[in-house]
Amino acid sequence: MFAIDEGDRLSARAIQFMQIDCHRDRKTVRNTPRIRQERRRVGSSTVKRQLSRAFFGAIASLLLAGVGWWGLRTYYRYVRLPQAILVLGGAPEREVFAAEFARSHPNLQVWVSGGSNPEYAEWVFTEAGIDLQRLHLDYRAVDTVTNFTTLVDELKARNINSIYLITSDYHMRRAYTIGEIVLGSRDISFRTVPIPSNSHPEPIEKSLRDGVRAVLWLGTGYTGSTLRQIR
């Protein structure tokens, strides 16, 4: 019996020492430089995957929001009836065209932004039979961006949510870009009325530049008129 008990105690001690050795071995393995490097690599990969998912999720959300906004703007453009006419100055023929257009839309007020001198503008509209009480001449604008920014709040204050936008065909792409941003920020829709000409469309760089300026105005109230360097 004593021999058996002693043997059992020796076996138990041996097993205990083996367990301690195994524990030490596992701890040593877990702490080798290669294992630590592998763990860091796996952890870094996990973080990268999470950041990547978050980034692409944000991009997808922005794209969906943009598509939804564009769709809503397009819908309003066709279902809302224009309540006023906005003419962008810069060429006398725009006022001549607008006067004829206003005659065929007798119930609409007309705003001319940055157009010809008052004497000429009033003469053109009078010759077309337009009551001058319908005519609003505004000379605060210094360029196409400010054509919109100087008048958008006045239009909104008059509860106008849709207008006809008149300018030369070569100028319309830039006007459209700015109008979508500035007028759209006040939930004002517009229908374009381009005046035919023999001129080539403006460089797209002007539309891109002024689109950035319009976004800048949304965020800061600054129109960036000093950025008008592209001719």
Number of helices (H), then strands (E), in the chain: 8, 5
The pTM assigned to this predicted structure is 0.69
- CA–CA gap between residue 14 and residue 28 (Å, rounded): 21
Nearest Cα neighbor of 108 from 46, 181, 158, 180 is 158
- CA–CA gap between residue 6 and residue 12 (Å, rounded): 10
- CA–CA gap between residue 40 and residue 23 (Å, rounded): 23
Q: Is residue 79 very low, low, confident or very high in pLDDT (cuts 50, 70, 90)?
A: confident
- DSSP classification of residue 113: E
Nearest Cα neighbor of 225 from 141, 139, 138 is 141
- CA–CA gap between residue 116 and residue 96 (Å, rounded): 11
Q: Which residue has the higher pLDDT, 18 or 94?
A: 94
- pLDDT digit string (tens) for 87-105? 999 999 999 999 999 999 9
- pLDDT digit string (tens) for 104-127? 999 999 999 999 999 999 999 999
Q: What is the pLDDT of residue 230?
A: 47
- pLDDT digit string (tens) for 140-198? 999 999 999 999 999 999 999 999 999 999 999 999 999 999 999 999 999 999 999 99
